[in-house]
Structure 1
Amino acid sequence: MHIHFDLQQLNWLAVLIATAAAFILGGIWYGPLFSKPWMKAFGLSSDEVNQRHPGKVFGMAIMWTSVAAIMLALFIEPDADFHLGAMTGFFIGIGCITPFMGIHYAFEGRDWKILAINAGYSTLALTLMGAILGWF
């Protein structure tokens, strides 16, 4: 694998689409799919979550998602396809992100259900972003 750390060679349209897709996935994942168990695992109420400033929360989410898309794009070879891109994202999610989340959660004494929700989203989002980046 050749890692190309040249930001000028990135397909910025693909990065933008990958960012948007992962952000939308996050809205579905942490909305209708897992909002209740996620809030319960953190001991949060709907009111507490809704009191947060949405511009700040969503702004930070878009920023961090775009950083992840850019970094993932640097690891996907320019001649990659949909499958290679998806597999790259999947293996980074399941093999790098999830284990470190697990370490943090073990030391923080967090419920393993929240690890499954958060690491599941991260892995799925990276897989989706990788598929988009590879496809372009």
Structure 2
Amino acid sequence: MDIALMNWTAIVVGTIAAFGLGMIWFSPMMFGKSWAAGSHNIQPPASPPIMAMVIQFVGTALLALVVGITETNQAIMTAVGAILAVTFVVAGMDLFSQKSGKATVIDAGYVVASGALMILAQGLI
């Protein structure tokens, strides 16, 4: 793998787009209320959960990097497989933590949608 051949702009755009999608996806205007109700009635914290946001951003960037690597090697279906694997891991973790089916679908749906944005960034940029 030659990192010079990677589309770093698409990786950064994919990361930012997917992270931004999460801010919208889990907002009260979209799925936030249903997600919170199905996640043991989580209440908004008094201050932003900085550590959770940092970890989420790093994980999002790493997944965008995997998508970028697979695109460079013309193996984008590997990225699709990785995204689906993460989706099932997230769903399993949610069910182990006894989240509702609705909250689990919201979490898993976000993984699929953010992965699609990352792939789209690679295709368009």
* Structure with more of its chain in helix, by fraction: 1
Any idea what the Cα deviations from partners look like across 1:83-132, whole Å, max 9, x if unmatched? xx6x7755543x32222233334444332212100110000000011011
2:105, 2:13 → 1: CA distance?
A: 26
Match for residue 122 of structure 2? Answer: 133
Question: Are positions 1:14 and 2:10 aligned together?
Answer: yes
Give the counterpart of 1:37 among 11, 34, 39.
34
- Structure with more relative contact order (C-alpha pairs < 8 Å, separation 6 or more): 2
User: Is the alpha carbon distance of 1:131 and 1:106 closer, same or farther for their aligned partners in structure 2, counting shifts above 3 Å?
Assistant: same
Q: How many residues align?
A: 124
User: Partner letter of residue 62 of structure 1?
Assistant: F
Q: Normalising by the residue count of structure 1, what TM-score does the alignment of the two structures yield?
A: 0.74
Q: Which amino acid aligns with 2:71?
A: I
Cα pair 1:10 1:74 within 8 Å, conserved: yes
Change (3 A) 1:126 1:69: same
Unaligned runs of 5+ in 2: none
Extract unaligned runs of 5+ from structure 1: none
Aligned mates of 2:96, 2:23 — CA distance in 1: 28
Alignment of 1:1-136 (within 5 A): 5-31=1-27, 32-46=29-43, 49-77=44-72, 92-93=82-83, 95-136=84-125
Letter in 1 for 2:2: D
Equivalent-residue separation in structure 1 for 2:13 and 2:121 (angstroms): 7
Structure 1 contact 88–127 (Cα < 8 Å) conserved: no
Instruction: Out of 51-60 and 123-132, give the one that drifted further.
Output: 51-60
